[in-house]
Amino acid sequence: MRPPPFTPTGGVPDAQDADVVWHENGHAIQNDQVPGWGATHDALSIGEGWGDYWAFSHGAGKGPNRSWDPYVFKWDATAYNPGDPAFLRVVNSTKHYPENMDYVNFDVHADGEMWSACLYQLWNLLGKQKADTIILESNFYLSPSASFIDGAHAILKANAALYNGASYAAIRQIFVDRGFLDSQGIGAATPNYTISGTITGPSPSGVSVAASATATSPYVAGAEPGMDVPAGNTTGASFPINVPLNASITSVTLGVSVQSANGGHIEILVKGPDGTTVIVKDPNPTDNSTTNIVTSYPNLTPSAHPLTAFNTKNAKGTWTVQVLDPTSGDTDGLFNWFTLSLTFSSGTYQKTVASRSDGSYFLTQLPSATYTVTPSKTGTSYTPPTRAVPLTSNVSSQDFVQTQPKLTAFSVSSNTMLAGDSGLATLTLSSSIGANTAVQLASSNSALSVAPTCTISGGQTRGATSVTARAVSASTSVTLSAKLNDVTKTVTISVLPAPALRQLTLVSGVVHGGGTMGASVRLAGATPAPMRVTLASSDASVTLPAFVIVPAGASSVSFTVQTSMVRQQEQVGLSATRGSNVVGSILYVVP
In the chain, what is the straight-line distance between the N-terminal and C-terminal CA atoms, in Å?
A: 103
Structural domains in the chain, CATH included, are 14-178 (1.10.390.10), 192-349 (2.60.120.260), 407-496 (2.60.40.10), 501-590 (2.60.40.10)
Residue in 152, 83, 165 with CA at minimum distance from that of residue 118: 152
Average confidence (pLDDT) over 141-157: 86
Which pLDDT score, from 0 to 100, does residue 279 have?
97
Decide: helix, strand or coil at residue 221: strand
Question: Between β-strands 267-271 and 317-324, what pairing exists: parallel, antiparallel or unpaired?
Answer: antiparallel
What φ, ψ does residue 248 adopt, rounded to 5°?
Answer: -85, 125
Report how far apart, in Å, the C-alpha atoms of 443 and of each of 75, 198, 465, 529 are: 93, 38, 13, 21
| Rounded distance between C-alpha atoms, residue 135 and residue 123, angstroms | 10
| Rounded distance between C-alpha atoms, residue 447 and residue 237, angstroms | 62
Report how far apart, in Å, the C-alpha atoms of 553 and of each of 36, 499, 504, 524 are: 94, 11, 19, 12
Question: Between β-strands 333-354 and 208-214, what pairing exists: parallel, antiparallel or unpaired?
Answer: antiparallel
pLDDT reading at 9 higher than 60: no
| 471-501 pLDDT tens trace | 899 999 999 999 988 899 999 999 999 999 9
Our CA dihedral for 170, 171, 173, 174, rounded to 10 degrees, sits at 120
Question: Between β-strands 581-590 and 510-512, what pairing exists: parallel, antiparallel or unpaired?
Answer: parallel
| 89-148 pLDDT tens trace | 999 999 998 888 886 788 999 999 999 999 999 999 999 999 999 999 999 988 888 888
Count of Cβ atoms closer than 10 Å to residue 306 Cβ: 13
CB 118 within 8 A of CB 181: no
Helix/strand/coil (H, E, C) string of 146-205? Answer: CCHHHHHHHHHHHHHHHHCCCCHHHHHHHHHHHCCECCCCCECCCCEEEEEEEEECCCCC
Phi-psi region of 235 (alpha: psi -120 to 50; beta: other; left: phi over 0): alpha
For the chain, counts of helices (H) and of strands (E): 6, 36
Which pLDDT score, from 0 to 100, does residue 434 have?
67
More confident residue, 342 or 329: 342
Residue in 261, 205, 567, 504 with CA at minimum distance from that of residue 375: 205
| Rounded distance between C-alpha atoms, residue 589 and residue 564, angstroms | 8
Which pLDDT score, from 0 to 100, does residue 4 have?
46
| 195-214 pLDDT tens trace | 999 999 988 999 999 999 99
| Rounded distance between C-alpha atoms, residue 488 and residue 440, angstroms | 9
286 Cα distance to chain centroid: 43
Report how far apart, in Å, the C-alpha atoms of 301 and of each of 41, 95, 120, 126 are: 21, 30, 26, 26
| 63-76 pLDDT tens trace | 778 899 999 999 88
Burial per residue of 349-366, b for 16 or more beta-carbon CB atoms within 10 angstroms, e otherwise = bbbebebeeebebebeeb
What φ, ψ does residue 586 adopt, rounded to 5°?
Answer: -110, 135
HSE-CB for 545 with a 13 A CA cutoff: 15
Burial (CB < 10 A; 0-12, 13-18, 19+), residue 177, is middle
- Mean pLDDT of the chain, nearest integer: 90
| 524-534 pLDDT tens trace | 999 999 999 99
Burial (CB < 10 A; 0-12, 13-18, 19+), residue 559, is middle
What φ, ψ does residue 127 adopt, rounded to 5°?
Answer: 95, 160
Residue in 136, 101, 108, 142 with CA at minimum distance from that of residue 122: 136
The DSSP call for residue 72 is E
CB 473 within 8 A of CB 447: no
Most confident segment among 27-36, 164-173, 174-183 = 27-36
pLDDT reading at 1 higher than 60: no
Query: Per DSSP, what are the bridge partners of residue 269?
Result: 279, 322
CB 90 within 8 A of CB 60: no
Which pLDDT score, from 0 to 100, does residue 378 have?
79
Which pLDDT score, from 0 to 100, does residue 182 have?
63
Which pLDDT score, from 0 to 100, does residue 186 have?
45
How many percent of the chain have pLDDT more than 70?
A: 96
